Structure 1
């Protein structure tokens, strides 16, 4: 996952959300997908895309700037709704649209581990591309990792296969030119979780 900080909030996103709040006072979850919010959401998505360096916040696959969705990390609806966070930039992530993974798979569930600072310390990645809890974690934290992997569909076979290919590439660079690994990773998919190798 990408370790999102959202600090400081990009000026363009802050301005867009403030302008929308002024234009539509009392807006709630039902207003998020309206045509009225669309131009503001486009600005927010562009800011998220830049901050996330073009990767999905959850699976770390590449996203075009105009693709994907503005994902609510804490859901705006459902049984665990946080409607007060519907228009909060700090609750947003740019996520891919795949019914088997990420926000589409998550739906309205609460993530035990969110894409925040330190989140990747909970995960281990193996040479076959699969994710698992870091072995030194307490049992309760291991369960949180397994639940997060399930909710986000991070063991979806095509995703695991792509991670496996990148693991092999990183290990090859590491064996031949270890000093170049940070540079190699700096532009690759899965670069945040691959730092766990």
Structure 2
């Protein structure tokens, strides 16, 4: 659950001109391989790894740990979805294999109201480049471990990405514990209690 407002990749005018020459109507334009395309993809990867701090934009777990990192198209690029947004700067982010898999977001169409102008589209989930996650998610006892939703978007995101699953709850508990240990900061009683609660959810 990253706040990436204003942190999307920015293409140069030259790159935009090149991308406009690509036929996206078949929904497979992202897979095309040319020198220029490969350079643009590499730029996207480097930028997103940096601004996302090697974490999944949806669940916040470390990329390439629970599964490979994947360039995610928020509005799906498939031919029957939104291929025209294949290379839109606000439609590209890194997601973990778990969140981007067919059993999670996969090809679910999260665009609930479409516009030709991408920022005017409405999305059913918390959009990392548009939405502040703090307005859509709430933490039990203000400790970032056990998650709840504040909004319809937050609820939908929790449902799709299973953000309240024992696996992700445990991961957040371990991350909090590890961060405090590295910085040699003692855990508060509330934090210790939430870590215990999180671990008790495990099978």
Matches within 5 A, 1:14-53: 14=12, 17-18=15-16, 20-21=18-19, 24-28=21-25, 29-36=27-34, 37-53=37-53
Q: 1:174 to 1:156 in 2, by over 3 A?
A: closer
User: In the alignment, which of 136, 143, 162 is matched to residue 122 of structure 1?
Assistant: 136
Conservation of the 8 A alpha-carbon contact between 1:56 and 1:62: yes
User: How high is the TM-score relative to the length of structure 1?
Assistant: 0.66
Give, in angstroms, the shift of residue 150 of structure 1: 1.2
One of 159, 165, 170 as aligned partner of 2:168? 159
Name 2:95's counterpart in structure 1. 95
Q: Could you tell me which runs of 5 or more consecutive residues in structure 2 were left unpaired when the two chains were aligned.
A: 111-123, 190-203
How large is the Cα RMSD of the aligned pairs? 3.1
Q: How many residues align?
A: 160
Q: Which has the higher contact order (CA 8 A, sep 6+)?
A: 1
Counterpart-to-counterpart distance in 1, 2:7 and 2:55: 18
By how many angstroms is 1:78 displaced? 7.0
Structure 1 stretches (4+) deviating beyond 3 angstroms? 6-10, 13-17, 36-39, 166-176
Note the C-alpha offset of 1:15.
6.2
1:2-81 → structure 2 map (5 Å cutoff): 2-6=2-6, 9-10=9-10, 13-14=11-12, 17-18=15-16, 20-21=18-19, 24-28=21-25, 29-36=27-34, 37-63=37-63, 68-77=69-78, 81=81
Long gaps (5+) in structure 1:
135-140, 177-197
Asked if the contact 1:78–1:108 (Cα under 8 Å) also holds between the matched residues in 2, the reply is no
